[in-house]
Structure 1
Amino acid sequence: MFVETRKTVTGREYWDSKNKKVIVVPHGQKPDFEVVDNPKSMKYNEDGLNPGVAIVDETIPNLDEMDAEQLFAYAKENNIEVPGNMKKADTIRDHIKEEQANAIEG
């Protein structure tokens, strides 16, 4: 499968997913292979997800980068009750992670 990855001064570059290399087609020439227009097709096959491709959900925030105020706001948005005696970011973060793990298990 070949997918166009970018246009350069010298021509167009295509990713050859079978041979795992870039093919350059100079300007004025047409590729001698079939080009797939939808790059998402590289991530999926007929059975669903291709196990060789990792899908990353960038909407999940990194709790380790949040301060206490941000953690309180995150907990409130996600209906996680934080006891009033928790003030330190590390303690709040651990509590949120524990509540999320319990929700997944439960």
Structure 2
Amino acid sequence: MKTLIRKTIAGNEYWDSEAKRTLFVPKGKNPDFEVTENAFSIITPEGESMTLMLQEEQQESSAGDQEVDEEVFDNQETVGDEEEPDLENMTAKQLRDYAKKQGIDIPAAIRAKGDILQIIQESGK
């Protein structure tokens, strides 16, 4: 079975699943082999369309993501006036986010966690 995988300015590329290699056909020439038009029809269960299967997978994954987000939200520590966050255990990205929320400017050139932490601590916020 040969299926179209990419169209370029120079021509088309096809995947030969039997020989496990790509075939190139220059622009303006027709392939000298049979091309399978709908490759998805071969791998999907009979009667189901690929679009329907993708929609079902997206719905399942989005429902799972929502549950995970709720768990993460419930397990987060409250950062406020009463508790100081554990800055030492934060990543550089988390430190940047924390600094942004606190109104502390971190220059883009500063990349190291230790340097970001030092700027935050020196700001006194």
Per the normalisation by structure 2, the TM-score is 0.41
Q: Relative to total residues, which structure has the larger strand share, 1 or 2?
A: 1
Per the normalisation by structure 1, the TM-score is 0.47
Higher relative contact order (CA 8 A, sep 6+): 1
Q: Relative to total residues, which structure has the larger helix share, 1 or 2?
A: 2
